[in-house]
Amino acid sequence: MAEPQLLLEKTDGYAVLTLNRPDARNALSPQLLQDLCVAFRDLQADAQVRAVILTGAGSAFCAGLDLKAMSGDAAGLGVYDIHGAHDIVAAMTAFDRPIIVGVNGVAATGGFELALMGDILLASEAARFADTHARVGLAPGWGLSQKLARIIGPSRAREAHFTGNFIGAAQAAEWGLVSRTVPAGDLLEECRALARDIVGCVPATVRVYKQLVNDGLEMSLAAGLVMERNVMGAVNRRVSGDAIAERRKAVQQRGREQA
């Protein structure tokens, strides 16, 4: 029986999705892309899952679309049928809880775009990012041309887009592309620790925060501040003083433990 192309683990309130085509550097085959879309839609429907970790098996995160799948079919990119039920951007955007991406190795082109669909990126010291669209003659369609400049600045993004050069883990951290780098052997545990911290927060508030940040990034600061105030008024009036006082005790205890 063939090994599944996507592995799913659920534990302690979070899920781990592992791209499982290590011999192909986890390149996205039509089947893997379909499985990933299905997984995120299913996880969205599971209220017990408060965060998701997305990572890759072996030495790569994701090498992008599997060019072999395209070259063996006259339909080219059409073999992927990237819309509707197979629209990975829609599937991941609709997931309203945090997505932690553990970039364990190369994240190239479509794999780079896949990583940027996450909310928090952690990188192993072996991580490398590259946008090779211009080198293979394809245009991006999953947000890379719009997101990267907003994250690392226009000049750096243009350098990455126009050259196809690799961005190493240390440079990615310096540029703010990832939250931080960790030793390769610690990456998954660091992602798990982060997921556990998220699970320990009030789930409804985490969902509201994710929406606030994502929506705010598409607005001016002034519009974002108005939006935040409106959301605050709608959300906070539903929280009792007793609930806040009880939760604050737990926060204070956690602060003492982390001191």
Query: pLDDT tens for residues 2-61?
Result: 799 999 999 999 999 999 999 999 999 989 999 999 999 999 999 999 999 999 999 999
Mean pLDDT is lowest, of 25-34, 57-66, 194-203, 226-235, for: 226-235
Residue 84 has pLDDT above 90, yes or no: no
- The C-alpha atoms of residue 149 and residue 234 are separated, in whole angstroms, by 33
SS3 122: strand
Q: Is 40 buried (19+), middle (13-18) or exposed (0-12) by CB count in 10 A?
A: buried
Residue 69 has pLDDT above 80, yes or no: no
- The C-alpha atoms of residue 117 and residue 52 are separated, in whole angstroms, by 12
SS3 31: helix
> What are the structure tokens assigned to 72, written together?
């063996």
Quote the mean pLDDT of the chain. Answer: 90
- CA quadruple 190, 45, 116, 203: dihedral sign: negative
State in words which class domain 6-199 has: alpha beta
- What is the β-pairing status of strands 6-11 and 14-19? antiparallel
Query: pLDDT tens for residues 98-153?
Result: 999 999 999 999 999 999 999 999 999 999 999 999 998 988 989 999 999 999 99
Residue 255 has pLDDT above 70, yes or no: no
Strand order, beta sheet including 180-182: 6-11, 14-19, 51-56, 99-103, 120-124, 180-182
